[in-house]
Amino acid sequence: MDHIRLRECISAEVPPKMLAHIDRVVTLAAAFGEKYDLNISEIKLAAQGHDLFRALPEKELLHKAQNMDLDIDPVELNSPVLLHGPLAAIELKERFGIKDSQVLETIKWHTTGHPEFSLESWAMFIADKVEPNKIAKNSNLQIIFDIASESLEKAALAYIDFRINEALQLGFQIHPMSISTRNKLLSKFNAISNE
């Protein structure tokens, strides 16, 4: 299964606006992949599948997760939109036969990030957050895009910090995986600066 075939499979069930977002993410993620000499087909497939369920109502996401016996974090229970990645990863494996575990993990954790993310995963993650329409809607994201031209992992840390700051200001919950991911990225950069 390559991303073109997957696009054909999902285009009937993903709304056009979401499909347009996915197309922009595929393009930008592939550009990051080229720049950093990464596995482009893996990046494109993850980008193509990541928002399969993003347009579903939260009630339906929760229902699906409960039916599948998914481990639901209390933060996800409070904000079921967070389940769209984990549920898409399961669906893409079971219904579309995607077996690449790196691709599935990237899709599963594309909202929060994950401490074990590869650079391919980060290419997809960052592209999702800073594709042109996202920056047009929120110019504060331009800095994340700019940092990505220097380092995908630094851009990831900056993005997670940005969202955590926002959550603190608004009194929102923070997903524990965002915290674990931030800690891992920070310790990586601290280790580098201590060398």
Question: Residues in the site for Fe ion, rule: CB under 5 A?
Answer: 51, 54, 128
Least gap, CB of 135 to Fe ion (angstroms): 14
Distance CA 128, CA 110 (A): 8
Comparing CB distances to Fe ion, the nearer of 22 and 185 is 22
Q: What is the CA radius of gyration of the chain?
A: 16
Amino acid at 107: I
Q: How far is the CB of 53 from Fe ion (least distance, A)?
A: 9
Report, in Å, the least distance between residue 150 CB and Fe ion.
23
Is 140 or 194 the residue whose CB approaches Fe ion more closely?
140
Encoded amino acid at 184, one letter:
K
If the CB atoms of residues 42 and 51 are measured against Fe ion, the closer one turns out to be 51
Instruction: Give the shortest CB-88-to-Fe ion separation in angstroms.
Output: 8
Q: Concatenated DSSP letters for 20-79?
A: HHHHHHHHHHHHHHHHTT--HHHHHHHHHHTTTTTTS-HHHHHHHHHHTT----HHHHH-
Q: Is 61 or 157 the residue whose CB approaches Fe ion more closely?
A: 61
